């Protein structure tokens, strides 16, 4: 169900901001949640990042706060009225940026506080007075203790990505924060899953919540083509190269289970000619944001990441997701592959399965309620690694029209034909020849939104990553230790 924002009678400053963002119709979570939040009822929403849930809670919340708008410069006229809690600094910054955009034509003030940064600039902002405070729990408690943040006039609290907050061990922090808030308030809880712990949290802190569910957590989007290939640990990088080439994929997320594995894989892929960045908990805040921006702008083609580091990041329509490691937790599989095939776009999710992964794959099978067929990979041994296959390049150069087979240079065609009869190659479901015109990727190739650049394995070295980090983020020092305090990425992350 989608409907127009004009049906909502949003106040003019909010409607103007929404129009400026280019939103035409509401997403399903918005269509369901906004009218409920406007009535001031508590909400328990099952929705993942990428569904438009930030606007779903912040637009009605801002609308309800408009009555408190004040042009006074006195901090006393700008007490915190809404508190939005998120598990990670990246998410907090992302949500705060969105809220600032929605509120830009109002007099309501917003700011964000999270760990790993100097407290001083955050303190200055808080002391000036803000109506909407976005925060990670640990840093918020620091500010509460330092008496920089007073929460006794909070009317709205949003617990966003609540399941992840519990996973990270934030429950005691959340309980403490909630104890500082007035009992009379609206509480909105968003979570990808409604686990028993989340239900317990909701029953303790929400009053008669309306449950809104837009996509069940064990559902994988039908637009995602899921492939499971058997690959020894030693063959997995080769497998990635092969799939990238065969499917002509420009950008992908590659998930690994450990921080160490993440760093190692990123280094190896980079050495092999792929423009790669790593995103894990031992990276400094600045490095992580730079990696993200570089990926978003198309300057980096592969983002190798751990689950915690990647959770909920607002990167849409990635053409492919690789599970270099099968996730330990089947639900993480759903989160991981949710990065691709979003908003109706088609996507590819490739999971590389080694001999010891049988139990993990069985868990995934159970969760997604789909039979998993393990397939074999056909490697193109005679091609130099890290380069796109010649046939596909030729087809691209010819404008990607017509039958790709027509433009494959004769020498390449000959070599292809020599290797193996077509029928025997096609029986590997995932590895149709690169020229298969039925492949949706050939008909509708992915283009990064901001730059129409060729992938690294096609193009020469590109300029260094663009840095357009939020003004909120002024890295002070390496934050590995601090990050651990926020997200205990143990040896598995």
Q: Where on the chain is the footprint of ligand AMP (CB under 6 A)? A: 21, 23, 26-27, 30, 49-55, 314
Q: How far is the CB of 54 from ligand AMP (least distance, A)?
A: 3
Closer to ligand AMP by Cβ: residue 99 or 240: 99
Check: CB of residue 161 under 8 Å from CB of residue 136. no
Residue 173 Cα to chain centre, angstroms: 24
Query: 441: Cβ–Cβ under 8 A, 6 or more apart, which residues?
Result: 247, 248, 249, 319, 346, 348
* Radius of gyration, alpha carbons of the chain: 24
Coil, helix or strand for 380? coil
Closer to ligand AMP by Cβ: residue 50 or 248: 50
Q: How far is the CB of 357 from ligand AMP (least distance, A)?
A: 31
Q: How far is the CB of 21 from ligand AMP (least distance, A)?
A: 6
Q: How far is the CB of 188 from ligand AMP (least distance, A)?
A: 13
DSSP 318: B
Query: 166: Cβ–Cβ under 8 A, 6 or more apart, which residues?
Result: 195, 197, 198, 201
Q: How far is the CB of 136 from ligand AMP (least distance, A)?
A: 16
Q: How far is the CB of 314 from ligand AMP (least distance, A)?
A: 5
Residue labelled with tokens 């609308």: 63
Closer to ligand AMP by Cβ: residue 296 or 392: 296
Closer to ligand AMP by Cβ: residue 343 or 481: 343
Secondary structure element (H or E) that encloses residue 228, with its range: strand 224-230
Closer to ligand AMP by Cβ: residue 50 or 455: 50
Closer to ligand AMP by Cβ: residue 31 or 243: 31
Q: How far is the CB of 46 from ligand AMP (least distance, A)?
A: 13
Residue labelled with tokens 């910054």: 93
Closer to ligand AMP by Cβ: residue 31 or 350: 31
Which region holds residue 186: left if phi is over 0, alpha if psi is between -120 and 50, else beta?
Answer: beta
From the CB of residue 7, how many other CB atoms can be counted at a distance below 10 Å?
12
Complete edge-to-edge strand list for the sheet that includes strand 186-191: 110-113, 132-135, 82-85, 156-159, 186-191, 43-46, 210-213
């Amino acid at each position: 169900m989608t409907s127009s924002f004009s049906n909502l009678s949003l106040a003019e400053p909010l409607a103007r901001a929404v129009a400026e963002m280019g939103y035409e119709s509401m997403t399903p979570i918005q269509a369901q949640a906004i009218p409920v939040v406007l009535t001031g009822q508590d909400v328990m929403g099952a929705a993942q990042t990428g569904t438009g849930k930030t606007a779903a809670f912040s637009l009605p919340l801002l609308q309800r706060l408009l009555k408190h708008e004040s042009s006074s410069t006195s901090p006393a006229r700008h007490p915190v009225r809404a508190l939005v809690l998120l598990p990670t600094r990246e998410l907090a910054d992302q949500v705060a940026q969105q809220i600032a955009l929605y509120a830009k034509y109002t007099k309501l003030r917003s700011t964000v506080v999270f760990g790993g940064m100097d407290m001083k600039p955050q303190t200055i902002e808080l002391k000036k007075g803000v109506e909407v405070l976005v925060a990670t729990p640990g840093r918020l408690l620091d500010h509460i203790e330092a008496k920089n943040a007073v929460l006794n006039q909070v009317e709205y609290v949003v617990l966003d990505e609540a399941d992840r907050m519990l996973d990270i061990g934030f429950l005691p922090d959340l309980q403490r924060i909630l104890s500082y808030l007035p009992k009379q308030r609206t509480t909105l809880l968003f979570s990808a899953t409604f686990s028993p712990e989340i239900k317990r949290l909701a029953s303790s802190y929400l009053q008669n919540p309306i449950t809104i569910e837009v996509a069940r957590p064990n559902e994988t989007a039908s637009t995602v083509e899921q492939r499971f290939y058997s690959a020894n640990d030693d063959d997995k990088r080769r497998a990635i190269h092969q799939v990238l080439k065969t499917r002509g994929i420009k950008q992908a997320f590659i998930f690994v289970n450990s921080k160490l594995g993440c760093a190692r894989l990123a280094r190896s892929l980079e050495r092999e000619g792929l423009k790669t960045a790593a995103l894990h908990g031992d990276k400094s805040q600045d490095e992580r944001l730079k990696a993200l921006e570089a990926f978003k702008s198309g300057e980096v083609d592969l983002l190798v990441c751990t689950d915690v580091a990647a959770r909920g990041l607002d990167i849409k329509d990635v053409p492919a997701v690789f599970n270099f490691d099968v996730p330990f937790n089947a639900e993480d599989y759903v989160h991981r592959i949710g990065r691709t095939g979003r908003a109706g776009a088609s996507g590819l999710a490739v999971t590389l399965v080694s001999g010891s992964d049988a139990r993990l794959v069985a868990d995934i099978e159970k969760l997604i309620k789909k039979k998993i067929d393990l397939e074999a990979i056909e490697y193109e041994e005679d091609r130099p690694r890290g380069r796109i296959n010649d046939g596909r390049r030729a087809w691209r150069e010819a404008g990607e029209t017509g039958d790709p087979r027509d433009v494959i240079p004769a020498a390449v065609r000959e070599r292809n034909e020599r290797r193996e009869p077509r029928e025997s190659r096609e029986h590997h479901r995932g590895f149709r020849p690169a020229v298969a015109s039925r492949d949706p990727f050939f008909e509708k190739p992915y283009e990064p939104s901001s730059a129409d650049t060729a992938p690294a394995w096609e193009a020469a070295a590109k300029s260094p990553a663009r840095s357009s980090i939020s003004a909120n983020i002024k890295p002070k020092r390496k934050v590995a230790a601090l990050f651990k305090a926020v997200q205990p990425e143990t040896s598995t992350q």
